[in-house]
Amino acid sequence: MRKTDSIKYGTVFFIFIVIVIHICGHSFGQDSKFFLREDFETLDNWGPLYFPKIKKHSSYMIEQTESESYLKAESNSSASALIYKKKFNCYSFPSVRWQWRVDNIYAKGDATAKKGDDYPIRVYIIFKYDPKKAGFFEKMKYGTAKLFYGKYPPHSSLNYIWANKEHKERIITSPYTDKSKMIVLEQGPSKVGTWQKEEVNIIQDYRIAFGEKPPAVASIAIMNDSDNTGEKSVSFIDYLEIYHR
């Protein structure tokens, strides 16, 4: 090979390597900010979440068009959730965004009452209980629950909801437990049938809701429930992301 050819091929190879490094570096730099980017092409990374004494479960499936795929959530006097199989550190990835749509709301839905505590869709952040960081009375309470259910219940939760009617408050304490806060993102019928984008910071919301910092380990779930109202609904989520800025 002539010297000029060697220089030529060496230059081409160098440019190729630079391009590859640039592309890969950009890709890894971009991806490292995400714990989860879910487009709902499959549910392989999700599993069912059932609740004690509730025998009729909601259904979750992938619905596809020619160019898009969605999570379809449907309930009929039922309740259960779909939970992502991996936990995440909410301090490393405090931001969550998604796009959702509901085809209807519940006539008897009311976030302030047990009989109305149903939502056509909610994104559910569940914080893990850590006995090493619990006080004496909390250890007794959670230890008793573990004996009854076979495992520790969650420490606390944030429920980002599409409320059925308008509420003055943005954050509502669950009528079942003060360890669960309902955060109203959409409410009432005015946006039914339309896609709505949401973006939240779970650390900021937790501090406002509970007046303290959240536990580090969290899970994310999606839920459509109607066991209290006895009604039915259909809703969709287009994508879901957990990330840091």
List C-alpha distances in Å: 218 to 84, 93, 128, 221, 239. Answer: 10, 10, 6, 10, 19
Q: Are 22 and 41 part of one and the same domain?
A: no
pLDDT the model gives residue 136 = 52
Per the structure, how many domains does the chain have?
2
Rounded to 5°, the CA angle 119-120-122 comes to 65
Instruction: Write out the residue range of the structural domain in which residue 77 sits.
Output: 36-243
Q: Are 6 and 62 part of one and the same domain?
A: no
Question: What is residue 114's DSSP assignment?
Answer: G
pLDDT the model gives residue 154 = 76
Q: Are 104 and 12 part of one and the same domain?
A: no
Q: Which residues of the chain have pLDDT under 70?
A: 1-31, 130-153
Q: Are 2 and 80 part of one and the same domain?
A: no
Rounded to whole angstroms, how far apart are CA atoms 20 and 35? 24
pTM of the predicted protein model: 0.83
Q: Are 164 and 192 part of one and the same domain?
A: yes
